[in-house]
Amino acid sequence: MDRRLSPPPPWRRWAPRLGAGLVLSGLVVGLLLWGRQAQTKTVVAPQLATVRAGEFRDELLLRARVEPLRSVQLDAAEAGRVQAVLVQEGERLAAGAPLYRLHSPEQEQLLMQRSAEVAQQMANVSVQRSAQAASLAQNRRELAQMQMAQQQAEAEHQRQMKLAAAGFVSVAALEQAQRQAQLASQLLQQAQADQRLEADTRQQSLDEMARAVQGLQRGLLLLERSRERLLQRAPIAGRLSGFVLQVGASVRPGDRLGRIDDLSGGVQLVAEVDEFYLPRLQVGQAAFVGQGEAPAELHLAQVLPQVLAGKVKVLLRWGEGRSPAHLSPGQAVDLRLQLDHARPALLLPEGPGVQAQIYVLEGRELRRRNIQLGRRAAGQVEVLAGLQAGDQVLLSQTPNDSAESYRLP
């Protein structure tokens, strides 16, 4: 028998429609999320770093070289060919110790030539002295003869005067005797003056020749001393460094052959600093060797401001008499040069991605954020604003498109 059915409840009529709407909404949301993920790029091999609170140490990490405070450069003083090498690199030497010996045929030839010149000039002086002695002897003989002739003429004049007074000779004979006496006296005086002038001239010539001989002898002495310098000796006591001279090598004056380091005077450190830090370098700034912070008397002693290849040199020294004994010239040392005192700050490691616009991790995405950075030193960057301790940021380089966000792989 047929029975009348009651109508279905309203929720049964709307349930299929509601389910279809939910399914459709889910599909739309899924498509939107898929499209957004498809548009957001992925950072390949990201390198993240965490912002941490600590002390910002305004320091420079440097690689320095140990050099002696006192050293003497060995430059060749004479030209020649190395005949013998008497020391070795790194050997400790006493002052005056022989280093090497040179042989110079040109110097030997020049020495022989100067010796011959000196001998020739001395022979010339001897000849002139002999000629002077012979001339003086001849002048003395002539002078004696003229003195005797003057005396005879004077005696004859006196005799003629007596005879004329007695009336035995004429006045003319007396006048003739007087003229003979005057002539003999005049000739004697002229001969004496001429001999003095000749003697002075000869003596002046001999003096000039003697001075020339002395000059040649001094030159010969200098050549002999330069010959002695062919055997080079150590100017000070110390350790020989950079000495690579070999037998048979040719050297010229001014060639740098090595140096001698006086280790008793202590050592210093020489480092190169980027020219960017030149305005901040000040004499007296502290420095620390290695990782420890034990107070050491190492300080910035001198800044050499000449820029070479973008670098300047600085000299760092310990206090007087406090340089470590275990350091040797040429050794490399790591040090930290303190530019300013440490102070509390937010810190990030140095990296290509640490810029004024940085990417901060939010969930699974890296979002771009503007921040304010301070100083950079010793591989650390000071964060002034825009980040908090514990934030993770992208340390590595981002793609070149500079999108607002990136996805992690």
Element (H, E) at 128: helix 105-166
Give mean pLDDT, residues 354-379: 80
Pairing of strands 59-68, 250-251: unpaired
The reply to whether 251 and 287 lie within a common domain is: no
Give mean pLDDT, residues 3-23: 56
Indicate if the pLDDT at residue 12 is higher than 60.
no
Buried b (16+ CB within 10 A) or exposed e, 335-349: bbbbbeeeeebbbbe
Between CA 264 and CA 50 the distance in angstroms is 50
Between CA 93 and CA 238 the distance in angstroms is 5
In a domain, 243, yes or no: yes
Question: What CATH number is attached to the domain comprising 63?
Answer: 2.40.30.170
* Tens of pLDDT, residues 82-136: 888 888 888 888 888 888 888 877 777 777 777 777 788 787 878 878 887 888 8
* Mean of all residue pLDDT scores within the chain: 79
The reply to whether 132 and 200 lie within a common domain is: yes
**Percentage of the chain exceeding pLDDT 70:** 86
Between CA 399 and CA 243 the distance in angstroms is 53
The reply to whether 133 and 210 lie within a common domain is: yes
Range of the domain at 147: 106-227
Indicate if the pLDDT at residue 381 is higher than 80.
yes
> CA nearest 105: which of 75, 124, 83, 138?
83
The reply to whether 337 and 347 lie within a common domain is: no
* Phi and psi, residue 171, nearest 5°: -65, -35
In a domain, 17, yes or no: no
The reply to whether 128 and 200 lie within a common domain is: yes
In a domain, 409, yes or no: yes
pTM above 0.95, yes or no: no
The reply to whether 303 and 157 lie within a common domain is: no
Domain endpoint, select from 287, 318, 342: 342
